[in-house]
Structure 1
Amino acid sequence: MTRARALSPAARSVLSLLAEAGAEWSHGYDLCRRAGVKSGTLYPLLIRLEQQKHLEAQWLPPEPGRPPRHVYRLTALGHRLAADNPPLAAPSTRPVARPA
């Protein structure tokens, strides 16, 4: 599938975090926190990436005191997408010089 649009900064950040995790599974709350993305942005993004075969998802069984959790990791196709779309650089915090 050919992408028609550029990836959003949020998508680039999430892909980067998942790529860093390698074959390890990541859960949504951790991705929200580490990427600085709100859940209303993250979960639709994860669903879309899974539908496009860029990541796989599974449910982990409940642990004592914790409900089942949905976890995610990149597929080979997702790793290529992440490599081709690194996170955007943070904007500079230097003051902008104003013309006189």
Structure 2
Amino acid sequence: MRVTTAVARVLAAFLDDPATHRYGLDLIGTTGLPSGTMYPILVRLQRAGWIDSAWEEIDPVAAGRPARRYYRLTPDGLVRSRTELALLHQQLGGVRPTDGTSRPGTPKPRPA
């Protein structure tokens, strides 16, 4: 699995609370990624065995919305996600790839 910046953002969102089931729109809001980027990443992560998914069991009419597909890290995905993000963090010289404020070679903002 190639861990791009977008994939790293998705993995970091899952790692915020690994036991929580997340749905696509929730992950889109957390990561800021568009749906056209998010859903292919979720498919790749699922095919790689890093996440699993299940449809919510609701009555869409009673709920007033369609059923959601929930995703969660697998045990292997949890280990691999932590490992890959740690490697990425190390490669970037300690700059957190998911903090959104710094890029390699760009100084971090100073506290006020």
**Shorter-chain TM-score above 0.5:** yes
* Structure 1 stretches of 4+ moved >4 Å: none
Aligned to 2:79: 80
Aligned to 2:42: 46
Output the amino acid matched with 1:46: L
Output the amino acid matched with 1:37: L
Displacement of 1:62? 2.8
Residue 69 in structure 1 maps to residue 68 in structure 2: yes
Matches within 5 A, 1:1-12: 3=1, 5=2, 7-12=3-8
The structure showing larger relative contact order (alpha-carbon pairs under 8 Å, at least 6 residues apart) is: 1
Residue 37 in structure 1 maps to residue 33 in structure 2: yes
Output the amino acid matched with 2:68: R
Aligned pairs, number: 91
State percent identity of aligned pairs. Answer: 30
Q: Deviations over 1:60-85 (max 9, x none)?
A: 02351121100101011111121112
Comparing both structures, which one devotes a greater share of its residues to helix? 2
What TM-score results when the alignment is normalised by the length of structure 2?
Answer: 0.71
Paired with 1:93 and 1:57, the residues of 2 have a C-alpha distance of 39
**3-state SS in 1 of match to 2:46:** helix
Displacement of 1:93? 7.0
Output the amino acid matched with 1:36: G
